[in-house]
Amino acid sequence: MFLSICFALLLLIVIVPCKSDYSVYYCSNGRPAFSIFNVSTFTFSAQCSIPGRSCYGKKGKCSKEYLCCPRTLKMSSKLQLYDRATNIKFIRIGIDYKNAHRLYELNLLSNNSIMYDSYQRWFFFEKTLRDLFEMPNARFWYAIINCMQNNGIAYVFVPLNATSITANISAIIILTRQKNSFDNLYICHMATRKEYRRQGLGTHLLQQSIYRALNEQQNGIKYISLHVNTLNTIALEFYEKCGWRCYEYLPKYLDPEPHHTTNHAYALKLNLDNVKNVTGLCRDPDAIDIKQSDNEKSIENCNRIPTQLEK
């Protein structure tokens, strides 16, 4: 019993390393170096022994700075790409969007080498969200783990001219199945890089999420829900135009962050039964059959008149 508890604690330390004494070393391709956890000193080390040689189970190559550096995952016409550094499989979906961006579903593979690749996986998600949200000091680590390890689903757009897939994500959406709800897909995060905003990437990601939810209706999925800061009017209006409606006001629900002076939130959801035309989402007012009762609940529970597309 004692040994099992110690092992569980050790795994917790490995999966969620202490940020106060963990330094991230970067390789020349911009990716963080691999790190090994030392069970005797409870520290991480990114050092390798012989430059030019493979290191850590051939997942990387030892650089002249004695760092174990992951290889660059480059754009390819293949239907599936595997990133050894993060144990993530990039599965190509559909045709390229406007001949400029490629859509991938991210499949998290099992962590057979948990000592040194767990951090790479979550660092990829955290760094991507920091870049896209333009919040370099934000902490997404625990939220991402909680979301992705609970049957998480992620879709990303990558520019066709990207030299590195993992370093050039143009838009991302991360969903999960909430533990306390069997009929709901929950949007944990959605963001688009600044230079690609207002080009339809966010709309296309929402459409892909609805397709996924509709395919899982046989598993009981009825809604797609999310939370939005009450002061984030741009996001609120966007989701409302796409068919989401506010059903609850939650004071101090969100973690404090510098972009807003409050952490109050609105809870929004989209009823899949209201979806009539997925490809018209956010553009055609007839794509979603909004019930008058849903608008009335938004006013009653959230004191908010929903923004709607003009016919």
β-pair partners for 81: 90
Q: Which residues contact 200 (CB under 8 A, 6 or more apart)?
A: 97, 98
The C-alpha atoms of residue 16 and residue 142 are separated, in whole angstroms, by 8
Per-residue pLDDT, 224 = 95
**How far, CA to CA in Å, does 193 sit from each of 35, 36, 202?**
28, 32, 10
Q: Which residues contact 94 (CB under 8 A, 6 or more apart)?
A: 103
- Could you tell me if 168 and 73 are in contact, meaning their C-beta atoms sit under 8 angstroms apart? no
The C-alpha atoms of residue 28 and residue 223 are separated, in whole angstroms, by 44
The C-alpha atoms of residue 174 and residue 224 are separated, in whole angstroms, by 12
Q: Which residues contact 152 (CB under 8 A, 6 or more apart)?
A: 108, 174, 175, 176, 188
Residue 24 in tokens = 């991230």
Tens digits of residue pLDDT in 64-110: 888 888 889 999 999 999 998 888 999 999 999 999 999 999 998 87
Residue ranges and CATH numbers for the domains of the chain are 78-221 (3.40.630), 225-310 (no CATH)
- Could you tell me if 187 and 157 are in contact, meaning their C-beta atoms sit under 8 angstroms apart? no
Per-residue pLDDT, 39 = 56
Residue 236 in tokens = 């609120």
Residue 108 in tokens = 């998290």
Residues of the chain with pLDDT under 70: 1-23, 36-45, 111-118, 178-180
Looking only at the bridges linking them, the beta strands covering 101-108 and 153-159 are antiparallel
* Torsion sign over Cα 139, 144, 147, 150: negative
- The alpha carbon torsion through 119, 125, 126, 132 (nearest 10 deg) reads 160
Tens digits of residue pLDDT in 210-250: 999 999 888 889 999 999 999 999 999 999 999 999 999 99
pTM: 0.85
